[in-house]
Chain A
Amino acid sequence: MTGADLAFWTLAAIAVITGWRVFRTDSMVRATFFLLTSFVAVGAILLLLAASYLGFALIFMMAVEMTVMALFMVMYMMNPAGLNPMNMIHQPGTAVAAGVGVGAVLAAVALWVPFPHSAAAVPPSDPIAALGHELLGGSMLVFESAGVTLLAAMIGSVVLSSRAGRYGAADEGSLPPGLEPGGEPAGRRPAPADGGHTHMHMGDGTGGHMDMAMDRGGGDGSGDHDHGGHAAPGEGPA
């Protein structure tokens, strides 16, 4: 067993074990960076295969991608630290079926695709240049179409997902319901840009109530108050 063999088996074990840990951990951040460790190990295996550009590019891109993923996933969760335990597994049946299916297809490809056996067919003198010529030559149409398709998919998914808000469609004015039927929408609204006046809010319920009553009486409708904050028990809008 040579040093390269030892390195390969070690890296392969790291890749598989950390990949398995992705699904056994209970934190999004941990899952993300286990996945990154798995990818880094795969990148190092590519380096062993003398594909230095692909190896380093994989490590580089996955580091950036996993950072983006951790940042955005945690940003959208109610558990911002990602340290508290949470269930990381959803739809396990579908996931297992999809995983086994895709794994079988990839294994079939690995087993039945004819790989070159003779050394004569293998190395182009400069693999980086060969890769560049392939990307911007023969396969340019494929890669450019894939790139444009991905960009369109990203824009489309943002458009589709940003329309449906928590309180209705965004283009119809998504507003939270009132605190009582027919009441003003709850929650904080941004102050109007054209010099909305500010009130001194007192800490107790009475102050808040007076403040709100004045607001109604004045009828200015500037609405730069946190109405939700005044909804003390036993106190309703006037």
Chain B
Amino acid sequence: MNPAPVPPALAVAVIVGGLGLGAWVFVLLDRAATDLVSGRRPSVRPLAPLRRAAFLLVQQRAETERPDRAVWMLAPALYVAFAAVGAAVVPWSARLAPADVPVGIVLWGGVEALAIVAVFLHGWSANAPVALVGAYRFVALGLCFMLVSMFVLIAAALPAESLRLSAIVASQRGLWNVVRQPLGLPLFLFVGLGLTFRGPLDFADSADLAGGVAAEVSGPSLLVWETGRAAMAVAFSAMAAAVFLGGWLGPWLPGPVWLGLKTLFVMALMAGLGRSTARLRTESAVTLVWVGLLPLSFLGLAVVGLEVLR
């Protein structure tokens, strides 16, 4: 069952290359979704993200009064790093798994929790009111939707009888989890929208707060932050593809291609949902998660448990 270990150099290349390419594609998808929602013909300008990156690299760095400078510089980098750690546990095929740790699902939970910490610290460390409001708003929501994520992922691990990602993919050989556990993917997508702050859960660096946690950030730090946002969306999509859409499983094409296609599908779904749904009020979002979604995830877990016992 356990795939042979991948050479470290290849693993790093796969993770960095996959995330970098994915982030670039995701920015294009997001742009296209924005065009579609605002009634324009979707334009694909492949060079636009690179041009913006180059601009941010040479842009002057903004300053606030007495920020926590070390944390302010580190937090966006940590967010990117957690995206990379999360992406590392996703297996590309039965043999190509960059870091197929035996408790991949738990590691992903840790990535979600630490990413929330990074976003909070990013907003907190600027020592500026709008950024702080964004940070608190996000962290209050983050604590709610993370519970949903845990129960949904445990439900996916139950039929596989393993916390290892490759075992969870292999357990979907007969039937993908998206069909077997119909509650799983929609709930997990909601978590993903929260984790990358888009659509209904666009609470961290949204326009209604003039940029929120990123309001005071400019220059290279903003480049790292925006890269992190896109990279986290890619890592999340790859995780969703592996846990619910059967990962590398599929006819005719090789496994990594299938995983790439499925990840692309979830990325498009995230970009579309992110741009086409309105932001909830913070209070309604908290109520929705605790009263609506969390019991639903319990229900899903109970049903899966009964199925496994049968």
Contact = CB atoms under 8 A, between A and B. Distances in A.
A81 B110 contact: no
A64 B146 contact: yes
Contact of A63 (B71, B101, B114, B127): B114
B110 A63 contact: yes
B117 A36 contact: yes
Contact of B113 (A63, A80, A82): A63
Interface stretch (B51-59, B137-145, B233-241, B272-280): B137-145
Contacts of A33: 71, 117, 121
Contacts of A60: 106, 109-110, 113
B106 A53 contact: yes
Nearest to A36: B117
A67 B146 CA distance: 12
B132 interface: yes
Contacts of B127: 81, 83
Nearest to A30: B68
A52 B114 contact: no
A53 B163 contact: yes
A164 B207 CA distance: 41
A56 interface: yes
Contact of A67 (B68, B101, B107, B113): B113
Interface string B78-115: 00000000000000000000000111001101100110
Contact of A57 (B71, B106, B114): B106
Which applies to chain A's interface (DSSP): helix, strand, loop or mixed? helix
Interface residues of A, number: 23
Interface string A59-101: 1100110111011000000001111000000000000000000
Interface residues of B, number: 26
A83 B66 contact: yes
B269 to A, nearest CB: 26
B136 interface: yes
Contacts of A82: 124
B116 interface: yes
A29 B75 CA distance: 14
Given A40-B114, A71-B143, 4 more contacts: A52-B101, A57-B106, A59-B114, A81-B124
Interface of A: 29-30, 33, 36, 40, 52-53, 56-57, 59-60, 63-64, 66-68, 70-71, 80-83, 128
24 contacts: A29-B124, A30-B68, A33-B71, A33-B117, A52-B101, A53-B102, A53-B103, A56-B103, A56-B109, A57-B103, A59-B113, A60-B110, A63-B117, A64-B146, A67-B113, A67-B139, A70-B120, A71-B140, A81-B127, A81-B132, A83-B66, A83-B124, A83-B127, A128-B103
